[in-house]
Amino acid sequence: MTVQLTAAQVRRARWQSLGLGGEGILTVQGVVERLGALQGQDLPGVLISLALRASRTTVHDTHRHFDEGALVRGWPMRGTLHVLKAEDLLPMTQITQKRVLSGMAGQARTLGITDSAIGRVIDVVADALRESGPLSRAELREIVARSYGGNPAREIISHLIYQLCTRGLICHGPFRGDQQLIVHTESWLGAHVAATPELDLDHFLVRMLKRYVAGHGPVSESDAVRWFGLPLSIIREARLTLADQLVTVLTPGGAQWMTASRETERILSATSQRPRVRMLPGFDEFMTGYADRGFAVPAHAIDEIVPGKNGMFRPTVCSGASVVGTWSKATPHYTVHVQPFARLSAHTERGIHTAARELARVTGKQVSVHLPISLKL
């Protein structure tokens, strides 16, 4: 029998799949194992995303998993940063890099960067990182500039670094204070990840698709295409290989996938419960893990999440697995300014204060909340 879900049930099921239900996934590594990867363009934000999902974990606690080499932050999909398990970085990059590098070729020509120059930079940077160990981004930029020669413009240096990233030659590994350092991927992984037999990339992608569905479901094939940055034909082939390991649920947006598991049964049974209020960082998978954010954001407020479609996601205030506003913090004091989309109920206002205390716990900061008086009920 096919399960049919309402729009509210889809929101709540995704909320549960993403580990936001409040029960806490046991470990930081368990969070990444479940979701497959988390977008990591905003480093402070993704560390908060990890800590919010893991049991009794702070942002500072998450550093250890990178320092020990269990997790890395690299560019495995869509040409953007993600946090993923160390052993998953290179195979995922091998699957996706051809399309990303092809898209970069035009910019390289425009900047006058030749293939021989790219090759020279690759060799010099690899040797420097093997010899020196982890480097800051500023230190890496200096090495890239020297290896390129002359006095290259910032755009050229940035493009060359992006070439290194997209090829999986470098990634972000351990921390120096609050700064995450850059390492030579193979050298770093060789020191921290046990040797594994040669991977079958097709089988690897199938496993990653299953993890994506388990950690984000229900999802559509369009969601999967967008998340992986791969052609629809490849996603469909991986889906066929999974066969009855996935089930189809009917939603207002069409047929979507979930895993055939007891965890899915638990998730669906929890959709009758209203999720608590949470304050999520801007690039959390709740907003970036799907092709369309309309499942959780009111139509009139879509542009408030990514103003001007500039690719920068604002932090969100979520109540009942619906986005009810955005938030920002003032520095040097961690004062959270909430910008609601509409008037807030007393229940949501109380929940925001509770969510702020949760934010204080994971960040180690003293968090205060500022709500616009005119929008309170």
Q: What is the 3-state secondary structure (H, E, C) of 169-182?
A: CEEEEEEECCEEEE
Side-chain half-sphere exposure of 9, counting CA atoms within 13 A: 19
Per the omega criterion (within 30 degrees of 0), is the bond before 44 cis? no
How far is residue 363's CA from residue 40's CA, in Å, rounded to a whole number?
A: 17
Contact between 314 and 306 (Cβ < 8 Å) = yes
Side-chain-side CA neighbours of 357 within 13 Å: the count stands at 6
| Separation between Cα atoms, residue 76 and residue 205, nearest integer Å | 12
Task: Read off the tokens for 86.
Answer: 């160390």
Mean pLDDT of 117-143: 94
Whether 249 shows a pLDDT value over 80: the answer reads: yes
Domain extents for the chain? 3-11+213-272, 22-192, 278-375
| Per-residue pLDDT band at 191 (split at 50, 70, 90) | confident
Please tell me the class of the 22-192 domain.
mainly alpha
Residue 165's pLDDT band, with cuts at 50, 70 and 90, is very high
pTM of the model as a whole: 0.94
What Å distances lie between residue 215 and 165, 208, 264, 285, CA to CA?
Answer: 26, 10, 10, 10
Distance CA 304, CA 298 (A): 10
pLDDT tens digits for 280-295? 999 999 999 999 999 9
pLDDT at 374 over 60: no
Q: What is the reported pLDDT for 194?
A: 64
pLDDT computed for residue 308 by the predictor: 80
| pLDDT > 90 in the chain, percent | 85
170-199 average pLDDT score: 87
pLDDT digits (tens, 9 = 90+) for 298-318: 999 999 999 888 788 999 999
**Alpha carbon of 344 to those of 21, 143, 296, 356: distances in Å?**
21, 52, 16, 16
- Convert the pLDDT of each residue in 106-122 to its tens digit: 999 999 999 999 999 99
Per-residue pLDDT band at 167 (split at 50, 70, 90) = very high
Written as six digits, the tokens of 321 are 């697995």
What contacts 266, CB < 8 A, 6 or more positions away? 16
Q: How far is CA 199 from CA 33, 82, 87, 88, 95, in A?
A: 18, 21, 11, 10, 12
pLDDT at 307: 87
Tell me the CATH class for 3-11+213-272: mainly alpha
| C-beta separation of 153 from 146 below 8 A | no
Closest CA to 353 of 317, 328, 321: 317
> If you average pLDDT over every residue of the chain, what do you get?
93
Domain 3-11+213-272 shares a fold with domain 22-192: no
Q: String of b and e for 221-232 (b: at least 16 CB within 10 Å)?
A: bbbbbbbbbbee
Q: Is the pLDDT of residue 377 over 60?
A: no
Half-sphere exposure of 107 (CA within 13 A, CB side): 14
